[in-house]
Amino acid sequence: MSGFLSPKLYEKLKADVLRLTNATQRTERGKPHRGHTDLEIAKRFGISEKQAADIRTIAELEAIDTSRFLEADDWKQERLERKKVGGPGGAAKKTAKRPGKG
């Protein structure tokens, strides 16, 4: 099977792949804590390891609320602005010259 991931295959397997993956921590009493590797998942569904990894990665990203990405972007922008002198559009901070050095 090729490395191509069709939307149909993704939709068909995403819930099962997420359920089986190592990325999900399980702490239920009496249940095993070990998830499956991408290779084990691939063998179970008859797909390539790359396809299993792609399904897992896309499904994990879909599970993250978009607002989390926007919050992270805002946080990075605020941090950048704090490093500038004069706020937005300000010049980069200049280092002070030492006395007697020019």
Q: Is residue 97 part of a domain?
A: no
Q: Is residue 34 part of a domain?
A: yes
Q: Is residue 102 part of a domain?
A: no
Number of independent structural domains in the chain = 1
Q: Is residue 47 part of a domain?
A: yes
Mean per-residue pLDDT, 48-62: 93
Mean per-residue pLDDT, 26-33: 66
Q: Is residue 48 part of a domain?
A: yes
Mean per-residue pLDDT, 96-101: 56
Q: Domain containing 21: what range?
A: 7-83
Q: Is residue 40 part of a domain?
A: yes
Q: Is residue 92 part of a domain?
A: no
| Neighbouring-strand partners of residue 92 | 84
Among residues 28, 48, 44, 27, which one has the least CA distance to residue 36? 44
Q: Is residue 1 part of a domain?
A: no
- Please tell me the predicted confidence (pLDDT) of residue 73: 84
